[in-house]
Chain A
């Protein structure tokens, strides 16, 4: 019983990660591989090139579990990742998209 409650409590804490990355074919594989290997659930992914086209922005919606800190450090280590910023789940980017998933 308590398991269920804890899981539900954990599930409400989500985090939005904003990544700035080099814009080329392999970047998504590098990033997704890191999360998949650790069975770290990624709820949502969004990726678009930035205006100067050499860079892209990736938005990730993830659960805030105790491994997140390590996960972010591993992402920051990737050569093609320029920066990682953490936002709360209330960030508008995924909320606005919800309309497309009804």
Chain B
């Protein structure tokens, strides 16, 4: 017979689940759990400086490891601060378990100090959530939270635990089994056969890969499928890295800021094989005009994604690994010379323009210079804005989980804490966070966490002293009337970084910027690398919001 408090029980269940690092901030309603955490020999707590930062650190760990990771917050403002990181994890299908403190049960509903309805507030943002009303339920709820977070389409789960439940004594015989993901859905072999027939019969097929390929660990299988079937392959923002960008069959990223040729190839396709992607509007533009000539095969683990935006001719609800494994023996080896020649021709006529690529103080040049100084083992995170799109377009991604970006929610402030999380999960890797001056300010306090943990994170700041992507949209679509997108004063980020205890270098004043950059990237430990970028540099091409992908500007 074992006896312990609810708080200790949560801790033991996390340990048994293999959790080694948790991120968060304490506060009154979660203090019993923090007290228990202090007794753990195996779990390292990383003290974030804002709960949103803690949430993104957990995400960074999960995006690198593929396993659910844990963040913590107290009740009230702690929980409300965490909300953005949870919503972000939901939209990008990232497995995460958030544990929040709550006011004691008898005080729920009385507008008690630091009471908010965390459960109600997070219903639409989580894959599932729990309010634990009895510590005995923790034996079931905690493993369930992990099982749900990692089963099928991954996602965030929140467990709200009132303070008195954390203090309640529980007696039990045995710990529950460690949570494992649900069994995968059975593969519909008939649909697979039909899909293979369609692939074999197609003349101009395109493979369209999404983040689900990475979640399923199926990148190499997807590449094999492409090679076997002679399939030109495009990737969503979330899928960058599934196929190495220099693979002959890669046609790069599609969508709003994809290369012209990529969107033109899709226009010509007679068959679209969508694998682990969800026809997001930023990827497909105006849905009715996307791939107008193509039949569609859609593979997704989430049945609700099938036929949601585009009706598929064949929808297969299944795990990408299993589906592609079943497809491979049925897909004929094809060279598809005429189609690949047509693709090559489009690529040559409408490539992605990357002006000034060899100048490390230009936007594309800086991205290239960072890539030149690193190998494929590095992890590349970004914030949200023009800099994010320039990195997506120009960085040579070659492996899954190399690239961490906020795709679905597009959250400024994502970059730095996510990069910290990545470094916590993979301390042997160099982690680069490409950021903008607007985004960096949204979680800049995490520089303190970074300095404290002494992680190998390099912040590459592309500073245009503006909310560049907003300025771009106003310049292009709002009659060149910038409103609230240009900062009136500049911030001295170098001094700020130094104030937080980070190393800092300025490429603006460096005699040899490429060398200064490479040295900074190679020196172990955290560093801010600052570079000014011309505010008038825009992300091209661009599909105007709501337009068809073929109506690109630039």
Contact = CB atoms under 8 A, between A and B. Distances in A.
Contacts of B302: 77
A44 interface: no
Interface string A1-45: 000000000000000000000000110011001000100000000
Nearest to B305: A73
A20 B477 CA distance: 49
A78 B302 CA distance: 12
A78 B307 CA distance: 19
Interface in B284-343: 302-304, 307-308
B128 A79 contact: yes
A76 B317 CA distance: 14
Interface string B140-165: 00000000100000000000000000
A91 B89 CA distance: 40
A26 B123 contact: yes
Contacts of B303: 73, 76-77
Interface string B49-92: 00000000000000000000000000000000000000000000
Given A26-B119, A70-B304, A73-B303, A33 B148 contact: no
B524 interface: no
B304 A29 contact: no
A26 B304 contact: no
A74 interface: yes
Nearest to A77: B304
Contacts of A79: 127-128, 148
A37 B124 CA distance: 9
Contact of A29 (B120, B127, B307, B308): B120
Contacts of A78: 128
Contacts of B123: 26, 29-30, 33
Nearest to B302: A77
A29 to B, nearest CB: 6
A69 interface: yes
B378 interface: no
Interface residues of B, number: 14
Contacts of B128: 78-80
Interface in A51-90: 69-70, 73-74, 76-80
Secondary structure at the A interface, as helix, strand, loop or mixed, is helix
A25 B302 CA distance: 26
B470 interface: no
B169 interface: no
B422 to A, nearest CB: 29
Contacts of A30: 123
B469 interface: no
Contacts of B202: none
B187 interface: no
Nearest to B130: A26
Nearest to A73: B304
A14 B302 CA distance: 27
Interface in B241-282: none
Interface residues of A, number: 15
A74 B304 contact: yes
A33 B308 contact: no
B304 A33 contact: no
Interface string B213-255: 0000000000000000000000000000000000000000000
Nearest to A37: B124
Contact of A26 (B124, B127, B131): B131
A37 to B, nearest CB: 7
B168 to A, nearest CB: 19
B119 A33 contact: no
A54 to B, nearest CB: 12
A76 B152 CA distance: 13
Given A77-B302, A79-B148, A69 B119 contact: no
A79 B127 CA distance: 8
A80 B127 CA distance: 11
A74 B308 CA distance: 10
Interface in B103-157: 119-120, 123-124, 127-129, 131, 148
B307 A33 contact: no
A33 B131 contact: no
A77 B302 CA distance: 8
B49 to A, nearest CB: 32
Contacts of B127: 79
Nearest to A25: B131
Contacts of A80: 128
A90 B435 CA distance: 59
A57 to B, nearest CB: 21
Contacts of A37: 124
Q: In this complex, which of B120, B123, B127, B303 has the most chain A Cβ atoms within 10 angstroms of its Cβ?
A: B123
Nearest to A71: B304
A30 B148 CA distance: 16
Contacts of A76: 303-304
Nearest to A80: B128
A22 B262 CA distance: 47
A14 to B, nearest CB: 22
Given A30-B123, A33-B124, A77-B302, A69 B131 contact: no
Given A37-B124, A77-B304, 12 more contacts: A25-B131, A29-B120, A33-B123, A33-B124, A70-B304, A73-B303, A76-B303, A76-B304, A77-B302, A78-B128, A79-B148, A80-B128
20 contacts: A25-B131, A26-B119, A26-B123, A26-B129, A26-B131, A29-B123, A30-B123, A33-B123, A37-B124, A69-B307, A70-B304, A70-B307, A73-B304, A74-B304, A76-B303, A77-B303, A77-B304, A78-B128, A79-B128, A79-B148
Which 8 residue pairs are nearest across A and B when measured between Cβ atoms? A73-B304, A79-B128, A33-B123, A77-B304, A74-B304, A33-B124, A29-B123, A30-B123
